[in-house]
Amino acid sequence: MPDNMTYMSIPIGRTGGVFIEIDPTKAVTSLPQMQRKLLVIGQRLAGAQVPALTPDRQQNGESTAQAHGRGSTLHVMMMAIDKVKAPYGDIDTWVVGVDDLAAGVAASGTLTFGGAVTRASTLSVYVGGVLVRCAASVGDTAAVMASKITAAINLNTDLPVAATVSGNVVTVTCTNKGEVGNGMELSYRYYEEDALPLGLTLACVSLAGGSGNPDVAAALACVADEQFYSIVCPFTDSTNLATIEADMDGRWGGMVQKAGHVFTARDGTMAALTTWGATRNSVHCTTWGLRGSPTWLPARLAAFAATCEVSGARHPAMPLRALEVPGVKAPRPKDRFSRAERELLLSDGISSTIADSGNKVILERVITNYQKNTMGFDDESLLRLETKWTVDYYRFAHRQNIALKFPRCILVDDDTNISPDLPHVKASMLQAECYALDKRLEYVGIIENPAKNKEKYRFLRSEADKDRVNAILPPNVTNQFVTFAAAVQYQL
């Protein structure tokens, strides 16, 4: 029955006694902590232990090899993430293995040997950036060296390829079918000291000819009820990207609020990348464009996404720049994009990296594919990934705060004289609570100038639904220090 105070578990009765309940609704005073997870979508091997389309948490590359197949694309991607976790710390990583498209074709490349070894040494070959070596003895013919390197490649079962030999020609075929194998580099020189054994010649043709990607729709469907903040997807064909973008749009909306962001990557020249980038316009996808890195694209994509996720999990507004992408071999100097080229890439929705003097790949600018609004005009509102992540954390913090502090309340107008000890809420109380949270978010670098924006708050009891309060929250989110400009006006 009504009273001036209510309890969760203590009714009004006649027997009397001392009854004290525990009420946790005021217990949480810290800022809400977002539990972020990374999802890796990749191809498995047929007959692997974990069935396809089964989300499972994986600790490292080795556990992924056992679960989804050693040498699978998924295994290689997880090994790349291991290299990120080593310097930056753990990441809660989940994977979904997908089967090859039955009608798909695996990419392949060749190593064609000539001559014969005249001085004993070691032959070094790079397969997707991974070094493979074999001995070269005096008198070894082209056919002998082809057989030796074939055995060495197949001995490394972590490689996502299988090698066969016919005479002096080695054919290297991607373990998984589809476009994923295209562009995997076969080479014998990356560092200055790399050289062929004397007397031997080698012509390398990188992998190509792969076609037919798996459909990611089923992979996304099997995690529809879970939130994964960062998603790694090696497939960039138009069909799969359209599926991904539509799925992420739904998750981002106000009724679902399970935001996710998809990381992709592409190889190519500046012209090819900008042409492709101009066709994309999603807030929920980031594409890393690179040219000439020996590291296989799915591996470097996974490392790139994991590096961004680590930074965003620490603080969503922290600039995604000046961070090494561990384990990725930088493009050779002749293949690196110039500053002018990177400006053009960034103007077409392609994220950029640079290489430092130690040949490490460093984040320069990470952006979304979003470029124009629905009217076709340039729009930077959600161009920066840091902005998207910061705004989403702001939403998350307010949602959690309201849900925790006002779980069961009577809603009344602001001028209602109601007992302060009854669980109730007014529009003005919600405004005060949100402003108090904004002051705390200001202190931790999520927003700035909340006092200046306070006048823009709107909290009104709904005219259409008396159980509802409508509000507008107007945060000025923090930005990233990227550029310093100055003029030196000296005197003589």
Show pLDDT as tens, one digit a residue, over the chain (492 residues). Answer: 678 888 888 888 889 899 999 988 888 889 989 999 999 999 999 999 999 999 999 999 999 999 999 999 999 999 999 999 999 999 999 999 999 999 999 999 999 999 999 999 999 999 999 999 999 999 999 999 999 999 999 999 999 999 999 999 999 999 999 999 999 999 999 999 999 999 999 999 999 999 999 999 999 999 999 999 999 999 999 999 999 999 999 999 999 999 999 999 999 999 999 999 999 999 999 999 999 999 999 999 999 999 999 999 999 999 999 999 999 999 999 999 999 999 999 999 999 999 999 999 999 999 999 999 999 999 999 999 999 999 999 999 999 999 999 999 999 999 999 999 999 999 999 999 999 999 999 999 999 999 998 999 999 999 999 999 999 999 999 999 999 999 999 999
Q: Is the dihedral of CA 252, 256, 257, 259 positive or negative?
A: negative
Spatial CB neighbours of 355, under 8 Å, sequence gap ≥ 6: 330, 331, 336, 361, 362
Q: In a 3-state reduction of DSSP, which class is residue 271?
A: helix
Please state whether beta strands 130-136 and 56-57 pair in parallel, antiparallel, or not at all (unpaired): unpaired
The pLDDT value given to residue 3? 82
The pLDDT value given to residue 170? 99
Overall pTM surpassing 0.85 (yes/no) = yes
Do residues 346 and 278 lie in contact, with contact meaning Cβ atoms separated by under 8 Å?
no
The pLDDT value given to residue 13? 85
The pLDDT value given to residue 4? 86
Domains parsed from the chain with CATH numbers: 38-98+219-387 (3.40.50), 108-208 (3.90.1160), 409-492 (no CATH)
The pLDDT value given to residue 1? 60
The pLDDT value given to residue 27? 86
Give CA–CA dist 25/13, Å, rounded.
24
Please state whether beta strands 410-411 and 424-425 pair in parallel, antiparallel, or not at all (unpaired): parallel
